[in-house]
Amino acid sequence: MVQKESAVSAVIGEVLMIALVLILVPIVTISLLNQLPEDRVPTVTIKMGSLSQSGELHLYHKGGDWIKREQILITCNGVENRSWESGFTNLTFDLGDNLTLSGISQDTRITFVARNAVIFSGVARS
């Protein structure tokens, strides 16, 4: 009587190949997901107008990316300033738009932040 043992090694080989694939697929997937680029920081050209006698200052969007309203943070000497929100009805700050800050005094440092990146920084002058 002749016994065939070749079938046993074929089954073991198949099980090992399936195990190898089940181990490698998640490793490759995780590696590829870690290679995805992060959100890029918006690039915007902002022009600051002159400080008016009434303490108003205009920031003009002169070019670049648009920014969602909720992503805008403006600080004056490190303190958040939300005076621009009342007159700004758009959902985005886009080309041609302007923001009006009120209650600004001479030599106030204005910082425009979007998505945790400083987009513009300047000093208010008459």
Residue 10 has pLDDT above 60, yes or no: yes
Range with the poorest average pLDDT among 6-15, 25-34, 88-97: 6-15
The two beta strands, 117-123 and 109-114, are antiparallel
Closest to 73 measured CA to CA, from 115, 122, 107: 115
Dist. CA 35–CA 28, nearest whole Å: 11
DSSP state of 107: T
Dist. CA 59–CA 100, nearest whole Å: 7
Answer for the pair 108, 74: CB distance below 8 angstroms, yes or no: no
Question: How do residues 31-44 score in pLDDT, each as one tens digit?
Answer: 888 887 777 778 88
The predicted structure's pLDDT at residue 61: 94
Dist. CA 62–CA 117, nearest whole Å: 18
Provide the whole-model pTM. Answer: 0.66
89 — phi, psi (to 5°)? Answer: -100, -10
The predicted structure's pLDDT at residue 4: 61
Question: How do residues 28-86 score in pLDDT, each as one tens digit?
Answer: 988 888 887 777 778 889 999 999 999 999 999 999 999 999 999 999 999 999 999 98
Residue 6 has pLDDT above 90, yes or no: no
Range with the poorest average pLDDT among 16-20, 101-105, 113-117: 113-117
